[in-house]
């Protein structure tokens, strides 16, 4: 039975959303085709007809996760507000809907060139967004460098806060990085 274009697009979106969430929650290497299709309520055939391969799905799910988080950033968002939200316990505790850079960065070196390129493009876009919120009294190159350092601090702090077994240390990592970036 043929599926309409609208239904095919809806199915594709369901698979992408499920893959994006599961990869951030469990990691790319721990999400198999069976898990993906079950979470999306689809069949293996529908996944392969939409993407052709798991590798292609990973590439598109990485891009989708980055784009979805980027849409949450509003033009009026302040750097301070973003830092506070990013380095919050709520963000730490919900990796499936959180930052794809923090959730996926450690796995990217082992992914396809396509997935790495999409990750890289997303990271550059985020650095550009941050740079645009840096003080206008400094040169563009300095803003760009500060944006990269800020992004590295945000992602690194979130990764560490999620990794440690001590809840107090986790909270301290978030708080101290928030304080450092707020100065």
For 65-107, the three-class secondary structure string (H helix, E strand, C coil) is HHHHHHHHCCCCCCHHHHHHHHCCHHHHHCHHHCCHHHHHCCC
* Separation of alpha carbons 99 and 69, rounded Å: 7
Max Cα distance, the chain (Å): 62
* Separation of alpha carbons 31 and 45, rounded Å: 17
pTM of the complete model: 0.89
- Phi then psi dihedrals of residue 111, to 5 deg: -100, 175
pLDDT, residue 156, reads 98
Ordered per-residue pLDDT tens for the chain, 183 residues: 676 888 888 888 999 999 999 999 999 989 988 888 888 888 888 888 889 888 999 999 999 999 999 888 866 688 999 999 999 999 999 999 999 999 999 999 999 999 999 999 999 999 999 999 887 788 999 999 999 999 999 999 999 999 999 999 999 999 999 999 985
pLDDT, residue 58, reads 93
pLDDT, residue 171, reads 98
pLDDT, residue 183, reads 58
Quote the tokens at residue 178: 């928030």
pLDDT, residue 142, reads 95
pLDDT, residue 172, reads 98
């Amino acid at each position: 039975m043929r599926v309409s274009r609208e239904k095919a697009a809806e199915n594709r979106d369901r698979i992408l959303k499920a893959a994006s969430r599961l990869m951030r929650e469990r990691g790319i290497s721990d999400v198999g085709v069976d898990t993906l299709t079950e979470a999306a309520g689809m069949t293996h055939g529908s996944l392969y007809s939409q993407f052709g391969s798991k590798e292609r799905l990973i590439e598109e799910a990485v891009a989708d996760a980055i784009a979805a988080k980027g849409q949450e950033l509003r033009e009026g968002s302040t750097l301070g507000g973003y830092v506070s939200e990013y380095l919050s316990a709520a963000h730490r505790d919900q990796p499936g809907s959180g930052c794809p850079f923090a959730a996926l960065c450690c796995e990217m070196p082992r992914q396809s060139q396509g997935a790495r390129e999409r990750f890289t493009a997303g990271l550059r876009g985020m650095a550009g967004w941050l740079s645009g919120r840096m003080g206008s009294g400094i040169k563009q190159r300095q803003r760009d460098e500060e944006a990269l350092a800020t992004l590295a601090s945000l992602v690194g702090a979130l990764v560490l806060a999620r990794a440690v077994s001590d809840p107090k240390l986790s909270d301290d990592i978030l708080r101290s990085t928030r304080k450092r970036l707020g100065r």
